[in-house]
A and B are shown apart, each in its own frame.
Chain A
Amino acid sequence: MRIALFITCYNDLLFPEVGQAMVRLFRRLGNDVEFPAEQTCCGQMHFNSGYQDACIPLVQRFVAAFAGYDVVVTPSGSCASMVRRYHPLVAELAADRGADAGLADRVAAVSPRVLELSEFLVDTLGVTDVGARFPHKVAFHPTCHSTRLLGVGDRPTRLLAGVEGLTLVDLPRSEACCGFGGTFAVKNADTSVAMGRDKVDDVLGTGAEVLTAGDTSCLMHIGGLLSRRRSSVRVMHLAEILAATGTDA
Chain B
Amino acid sequence: MSGTAGTDRRAEHEPTFAATPPFPEAARAALANDQLRANLGRATATIRTKRAAVVAERADWESLRLAGAAIKDEVLRDLPALLEQLERAVTDAGGIVHWARDGAEANAIVAAIVREHDATEVVKVKSMATQEIELNEALRQEGIDVWETDLAEMIVQLGHDLPSHILVPAIHRNRTEIRDIFREEMWRVGRPAPDGLSDDPPDLAEAARLHLREKFLRARVAVSGANFAIAETGTIVVLESEGNGRMCLTLPEVLITVMGIEKLLPTWRDLEVFLQLLPRSSTAERMNPYTSTWTGVTPGDGPSEFHLILLDNGRTDVLTDTTGRQALRCIRCSACLNVCPVYERTGGQAYGSVYPGPIGAILTPQLRGIAKHPVDKQTASLPYASSLCGACFDVCPVRIDIPEVLVHLRGQVVRQSEATHRLPTAEAVGMRATAWTFRSSRRLSLAERAAGLAGRLFGRRGRLRRIPGPGPVGAWFRARDLKAPARESFRAWWRRTDGGRGGD
Contact = CB atoms under 8 A, between A and B. Distances in A.
Interface string B367-399: 000000000000000011111111101100000
Contact of A54 (B24, B431, B485): B431
A179 B489 CA distance: 26
A15 B486 contact: yes
A181 B480 contact: no
A214 interface: no
Contacts of A46: 431, 434-435
Interface string B344-358: 011000000000000
B152 to A, nearest CB: 25
Contacts of A7: 490-491
A105 B415 CA distance: 27
B23 interface: yes
B476 interface: yes
A246 B139 CA distance: 74
B503 interface: no
A74 B490 CA distance: 13
Interface string A1-35: 00000010101111111011001100100000111
Contacts of A185: 475-476
A181 B387 contact: yes
Contacts of B478: 189, 193
Interface stretch (B255-263, B285-293, B306-314, B493-501): B493-501
- A interface, by DSSP: helix, strand, loop or mixed? helix
Size band of the A side of the interface? 35 or more
Interface string A168-186: 0000000111011111111
Given A13-B451, A35-B494, A58-B438, A220 B386 contact: no
B413 A41 contact: no
B438 A13 contact: no
Given A187-B384, A192-B387, A16 B493 contact: yes
Interface in B393-441: 393-394, 407, 410-415, 427-428, 431-432, 434-435, 437-441
A48 interface: yes
Q: Which of A9, A50, A177, A183 has the most CB of B within 10 A?
A: A50
Contacts of A193: 478-480
Nearest to B350: A191
A12 B489 contact: yes
B320 to A, nearest CB: 16
B31 interface: yes
A186 B431 contact: no
Interface of B: 23-24, 27-28, 31, 341-342, 345-346, 383-391, 393-394, 407, 410-415, 427-428, 431-432, 434-435, 437-441, 444, 448, 451-452, 463, 465, 471-472, 475-476, 478-483, 485-486, 488-491, 493-495, 499-500
Interface of A: 7, 9, 11-17, 19-20, 23-24, 27, 33-35, 37-41, 43, 45-52, 54-55, 57-58, 61, 144-145, 148-149, 175-177, 179-196, 220-221, 223-225, 227-228
9 contacts: A12-B448, A12-B490, A13-B452, A37-B491, A40-B438, A48-B407, A180-B387, A181-B388, A191-B342
Shortest 8 CB-CB distances between A and B: which pairs?
Answer: A181-B387, A50-B410, A224-B480, A177-B389, A50-B414, A186-B472, A148-B390, A16-B490
